[in-house]
Amino acid sequence: MSYENLAVVTRGGIHTITVKRPSKLNALNRQTLQELYGAIIDASGDDKVRVIVITGSGDKAFVAGADITEIREQNTTEARRFSAFGQSLMSMIQSLEKPVIAAINGFALGGGMELALACHLRVASSNARLGLPEIKLGIMPGFGGTQRLLRLTGTTVALEMALSGEPISAERAYQLGLVNRVVEAAELENAVKELAGPLVKAAPEAVRGILQAIQQGADMPLEAGLALETARFAVCCSTEDMQEGTAAFLEKRAPELKGR
Ligand code: COA
């Protein structure tokens, strides 16, 4: 499938989706949001894809937000639809059964930060800036940012970031647990590969179980989360990969997982 505002490439099980509107700092207009939705659905159903990476084109921005020129033109009904569509894209990413890594190569603002927060893992270049600047435009986050930031950092940080609109550095984001790694810009691709590599080889059922138990468990009472963990653990134990992984450990050799 070809896209106007995305570049997609699969190499060695890693599917990289690059948002490609460099002249607008990769801002998410409606078309780009729709293309992202389609590209992610396609990747999720492709057995060759084991890990999805989302990044932005150029060295300045991951995504500088939703497209402000389009936001300006919306009436209340259109704004509600726009927010609901953006939220459903982010929720779809978060609930995928394949790991999604955000490679944050610069500004991740507004919808860009919301996109990064919906991913399972985040690697930032040291020049990245993350923020929710919507308040400066007289609006508020609408693609899940208030809710995901709140859940990741608690109210203190979420309120300050959303109310001030001021972006934070990659280093500060790391201190707050908002990103998993910070690396020099030139090292970003390698750092993402380092994280993705083992996931490409991991048992898919184990990856699915971990993603579901942790993502859904975060919003569940402990007992329900534990029950979900037990159910997923039992499914893992019915796989050939479990037989092979445990046998390889006992025989002191590298496992040859088949993804079954
Ligand atoms: N929507 C639409 N266009 C955007 C955009 C957005 N979210 N972010 C940047 N652009 C466009 C600019 O309008 C400009 O277009 P132009 O060359 O046709 O005038 C181009 O991208 C380059 O941006 P510019 O502002 O000139 O770059 P800068 O280096 O001076 O500043 C930012 C970079 C990220 C600080 C600044 O672009 C910015 O604040 N963007 C908006 C961030 C935001 O509020 N996001 C939330 C949106 S809800």
Q: Classify 51 as helix, strand or coil.
A: strand
Ligand 1 centroid from CA 176, angstroms: 26
- In angstroms, the Cα distances linking 192 to 16, 26, 110, 168 are 10, 20, 23, 21
Contacts of 73 by beta carbon, 8 Å cutoff, 6+ apart: none
Contacts of 52 by beta carbon, 8 Å cutoff, 6+ apart: 14, 15, 16, 17, 40, 43, 44, 96, 98, 99, 100, 101
60 and 87 housed in the same domain: yes
99 and 158 housed in the same domain: yes
Q: How many residues does the chain have?
A: 260
| Cα–chain center distance at 247 | 34
Catalytic residue among 114, 160, 194, 223: 114
124 and 244 housed in the same domain: no
Beta-bridged to residue 130, according to DSSP, are: 108, 168
- Asked, for residue 259, whether it belongs to a domain, the answer is no
pLDDT, tens digit, 9 for 90 and up, residues 43-59:
999 999 999 999 999 99
CATH of the domain at 24: 3.90.226.10
CATH of the domain at 244: 1.10.12
Would you say the pTM of this structure is higher than 0.85? yes
Token pair recorded at residue 129: 């800036």
Ligand 1 centroid from CA 27, angstroms: 8
| Cα–chain center distance at 246 | 31
115 and 223 housed in the same domain: no
Q: Classify 84 as helix, strand or coil.
A: helix
Known catalytic residue at 134: yes
- Asked, for residue 112, whether it belongs to a domain, the answer is yes
Amino acid (1-letter code) at residue 50 = R
Q: Whose CA is nearest to atom 10 of ligand 1?
A: 24
Read off the pLDDT band of 1 (50, 70, 90): confident
69 and 178 housed in the same domain: yes
- Asked, for residue 256, whether it belongs to a domain, the answer is no
Read off the pLDDT band of 2 (50, 70, 90): confident
pLDDT, tens digit, 9 for 90 and up, residues 120-146:
999 999 999 999 999 999 999 999 999
Number of H helices, E strands in the chain: 11, 10
89 and 218 housed in the same domain: no
- Asked, for residue 179, whether it belongs to a domain, the answer is yes
122 and 61 housed in the same domain: yes
Distance CA 144, CA 141 (A): 7
Question: Which of 200, 216, 238 marks a domain boundary?
Answer: 200
- Asked, for residue 1, whether it belongs to a domain, the answer is no
**pLDDT score of 226 more than 80:** yes
Question: Which of 164, 182, 200 marks a domain boundary?
Answer: 200
Token pair recorded at residue 53: 């990476």
**Which structural domain range is residue 227 located in?**
202-250
Distance CA 101, CA 89 (A): 15
- Of residues 210, 40, 207, 211, the one with CA closest to residue 115: 40
29 and 97 housed in the same domain: yes
**pLDDT score of 217 more than 80:** yes
Atom of ligand 1 nearest to the CA of 67: 1
Angle at which helix 111-118 crosses helix 145-153, to 10 degrees, equals 50
Q: Quote the number of domains for the chain.
A: 2
DSSP state of 5: S
Distance CA 24, CA 181 (A): 26
Distance CA 84, CA 67 (A): 15
Averaged confidence pLDDT in the chain: 97
pLDDT, tens digit, 9 for 90 and up, residues 191-215:
999 999 999 999 999 999 999 999 9
73 and 142 housed in the same domain: yes
